[in-house]
Structure 1
């Protein structure tokens, strides 16, 4: 039996650079529980350790960081969870992996490294699943924001993100978006904007129901193919 997703009020306050806000964090954990299963989990380059701490409530969880400073921040946000600096330090392959906004700051030459999709593929056991979240430079959110849209360090559209995962060997199990999560859009208050109804319904259900390209971020469930 898979443990219950931690209540929103029980989740740690995210700390560190560019952490997910709490409602998004809770939704990510519900997606993990529904699509990825029990674990063991590996959270890649998680900002501040908030997601890693939530994963540890669902099953065995560890982190992968790109530097000792990042590892220290992650350990501080997820006490008791091991955080490694390379895939070689992992005790073995994992069943589930999360990579939230990692592609936003990872240039193309680093995609094959430990922190990129090439590393994710190597870290997963055959048949293992990954939750990948990245800003969508071709999404509806950017269109509505116009000149106010703030690009990530490495902007990519959802089609390119999908292409990168497939090139690394992944199968795409499910593809969607986080919806319109950064309102207000066009001066309409968020509570009165009917365009946000699908986003609210998706988060309330804890599922991935918004179509790819319809929001701010691409959200993809990918799988390393099972062994023949």
Structure 2
């Protein structure tokens, strides 16, 4: 009789536990944890990750459903808010005060610094989102003084020059914004605003360090 020997079971290489990080000898190639507690911890983490992903997908789906229900007027207003925020942050980063009077009101809840349009939206709706003509303006000049147009012009000439201001004054075109354009504009402006906020924060930290030194 010929005897056949069974092949020796190949030993598996040590692994690093995905839960605690310790090295262990796995009992199978599918082993990921060194012990039952670590395996349970991995399972809980996987469930939490899955739940977070599901919640994110649900938020995205909800946002998309809400977006479809928005009117064009709502998109116009939301895009305007995003553009105005960029205008205020741009001037704040540059160290500018109110375009009309130069005031630097202290920021507080509810806002003390508006985004004023050199040519009002009512008289020049096509320039609603034109950033070069939108400048940081204190509440008094923008609201109480109706935009303080004369001083606004003086301030704008100081910043960009008379030729550029006269060019803005002569600009004419017909603006017909689609919902798709307004949605894209809002998205782009929000990204730009976040970048400006980070730059302002970094600048503030540098100023604080210099003050300490």
TM over 0.5: same fold? no
Larger Rg: 2
The two structures have a TM-score, normalised by structure 1, of: 0.24
| Structure (1 or 2) with the greater helix fraction | 2
Q: What TM-score results when the alignment is normalised by the length of structure 2?
A: 0.25
Higher strand share: 1
